[in-house]
């Protein structure tokens, strides 16, 4: 069994063939998928998929790149959906200083509002971080995000930052980059993270692992992440698959 903790089957790249993509994932042993929403249409599509497939769950949240467009009504919608039995987390949320589409102060406010909401509805949070590590860690600490915990999605930071996040009750999730030949840092960090704090993800359709780098990513490729981590840690594929699934179920409250 494999648990893809971060997939965007709700993205337009899958609008033509999502059913075949899901079938391939099942055939490759993917037992659970969290489809992550990040704006109005993708939240709606994540809910549709979670309602249709018993092994698909939804996360609902607002991406920092698009923070300027989140309204109070959107936050009310997220709060309403949080009560749905297939919604297992809020997110993705966070800070993105790479794309210059929403001012930093707006991103921070939208991030803080979603953390506060997660604490109110008692759901873990999925964190997107791009070039904003120090501010993310500060805000998680100031908002006492450890009360709900969550996952640092597609982690690319240092082991020191990973430890700070684990101390705040966060899991560390790795995707395609741990399979890249030239990616030293994620490999070194993944090797150091205790197996009981590790999660795996595709972040599909993006960040396609080796050997399909450059093509569209999909949940069936999550096995390549598990394989890479097993090799780095000197463990069996089965153990990594099982433990990361157990971790994800614990985090998302799936029995
Ligand atoms: Zn994502």
Q: Determine whether 246 is exposed, middle or buried from the number of CB atoms within 10 Å of its CB (0-12, 13-18, 19+).
A: middle
Percent of the chain with pLDDT over 70: 100
Task: Quote the ligand 1 centre to 92 CA distance (angstroms).
Answer: 6
Query: From ligand 1's centre to the CA of 160, what distance in Å?
Result: 23
Span from the CA of 243 to the centroid of ligand 1 (angstroms): 22
Predicted confidence (pLDDT) per residue in 28-75, tens digit: 999 999 999 999 999 999 999 999 999 999 999 999 999 999 999 999
- For 117-136, write each residue's pLDDT tens digit: 999 999 999 999 999 999 99
pLDDT confidence tier of residue 100, bands split at 50, 70 and 90? confident
Mean pLDDT of the chain: 97
What's the CA-to-centroid distance between 126 and ligand 1, angstroms?
A: 9
The first and second tokens of residue 126, run together, are: 């999925």
pLDDT at res. 90: 98
pLDDT reading at 23 higher than 90: yes
Cα 37 to ligand 1 centroid, rounded to whole Å: 8
The set of residues, in sequence order, having a beta carbon less than 8 Å from that of 127 and lying 6+ positions away, is 91, 92, 93, 94, 136, 140, 150, 151, 152, 153, 170
The Å distance, Cα 202 to ligand 1 centre, comes to: 9
Q: pLDDT tens-digit profile of 140-158? A: 999 999 999 999 999 999 9
Centre of ligand 1 from the C-alpha of residue 4, in Å: 12
Q: Is residue 12 predicted with pLDDT exceeding 90?
A: yes
| Share above pLDDT 90 across residues of the chain, in percent, rounded to a whole number | 98
Question: How is residue 128 written in tokens?
Answer: 């997107």
Cα(5) to centroid(ligand 1), Å: 10
DSSP track, the chain? -EEEEEE-TTSGGGTTTHHHHHHHHHHTTEEEEEEE--SHHHHHHHHHHHHH-TTEEEEE---GGGGGG--HHHHHHHHHHTTSTTEEEEEEEEEESSS-SS-HHHHHHHHHHHHHHHHHHT--EEEEEES-HHHHHHHHHHTTGGGT-EEETT--S-HHHHHHHHHTTEEEEE-GGGG-TT-HHHHHHHHHS-GGGEEE---BTSSPPTTSTTS---GGGHHHHHHHHHHHHT--HHHHHHHHHHHHHHHHT--
Q: What is the pLDDT of residues 206-253, one digit of tens each?
A: 999 999 999 999 999 999 999 999 999 999 999 999 999 999 999 999
Whether 176 and 190 have beta carbons less than 8 Å apart is answered as: no
d(CA 244, CA 127): 18
What is the whole-number distance in angstroms between the Cα of residue 6 and the centre of ligand 1? 6
* DSSP bridge partners of 199: 173
Quote the ligand 1 centre to 192 CA distance (angstroms): 24
């Amino acid at each position: 069994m494999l648990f893809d903790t971060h997939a965007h089957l709700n993205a337009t790249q899958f609008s033509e063939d999502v059913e075949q993509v899901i079938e391939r994932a099942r055939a490759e042993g993917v037992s659970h998928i969290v489809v992550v929403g990040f704006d109005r249409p993708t939240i709606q599509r994540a809910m549709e998929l979670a309602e249709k497939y018993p092994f698909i769950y939804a996360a609902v949240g607002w991406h920092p790149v698009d923070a300027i467009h989140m309204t109070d009504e959107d936050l009310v919608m997220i709060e309403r959906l949080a009560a749905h039995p297939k919604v297992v987390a809020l997110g993705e949320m966070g800070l993105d200083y790479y794309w210059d589409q929403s001012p930093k102060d707006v991103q921070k406010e939208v991030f803080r509002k979603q953390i506060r909401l997660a604490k109110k509805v008692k759901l873990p949070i999925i964190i997107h971080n791009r070039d904003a590590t120090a501010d993310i860690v500060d805000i998680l600490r100031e908002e006492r995000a450890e009360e709900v915990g969550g996952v640092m999605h597609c982690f690319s930071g240092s082991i020191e930052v990973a430890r700070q996040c684990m101390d705040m009750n966060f899991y560390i999730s790795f995707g395609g980059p741990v399979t890249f030949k030239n990616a030293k840092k994620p490999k070194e960090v993944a090797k150091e993270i205790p197996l009981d704090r590790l999660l795996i993800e595709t972040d599909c359709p993006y960040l396609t692992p080796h050997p399909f780098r450059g093509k569209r990513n999909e949940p069936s490729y999550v096995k390549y992440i598990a394989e890479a981590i097993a090799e780095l840690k000197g463990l069996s594929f089965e153990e990594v698959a099982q433990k990361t699934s157990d971790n994800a179920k614990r985090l998302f409250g799936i029995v």
